[in-house]
Amino acid sequence: MEERMCLTKAQILESDDIKKEWVDVPEWGGGVFVKMLSGMERDRWEEETFAAKGKTRQVNYKNMRGRFCGLCMIDEKGDRLFRSKEVDALGRKSATALDRVFKVAQKLNGMTPEDIDELVKNSDGGQIDSDGSHLPPDSENQSEKPSDQ
Please check whether residue 1 lies inside any domain of the structure.
Answer: no
Domains in the chain, number:
1
Residue 94 lies inside a defined structural domain of this protein: yes
Give the CATH number for residue 86: 3.30.2220.20
Q: 83 in a domain, yes or no?
A: yes
Measure the CA–CA gap between 75 and 19, rounded to whole angstroms.
Answer: 13
Q: Quick one: how far is CA 97 from the chain centroid?
A: 14
Determine the structural domain holding residue 61 and report its residue range: 17-126
- Model pLDDT for residues 115-138, shown as the tens digit of each residue: 767 666 655 544 434 334 444 444
Cα 102 to Cα 39: distance, rounded to the nearest angstrom: 18
Whether residue 145 lies inside any domain: the answer is: no
Query: Is the pLDDT confidence value at 71 over 90?
Result: yes
Give the Cα separation of 73 and 26 in Å (integer).
Answer: 16
Global pTM exceeds 0.75: no
User: In the chain, what are the helix, strand and coil shares in percent, each to the nearest 5?
Assistant: 45, 20, 40
pLDDT at 82 over 70: yes
Asked if residue 138 is part of any domain, the answer here is no
Whats the size of the chain, residue-wise?
149
Number of DSSP helices (H) and strands (E) in the chain, helices first = 6, 7
Model confidence over 94-113: pLDDT tens digits?
Answer: 999 999 999 999 999 998 77
Strands (E), the chain: 20-25, 30-35, 50-53, 56-59, 73-74, 127-128, 134-135
Q: Is residue 139 situated within a structural domain?
A: no
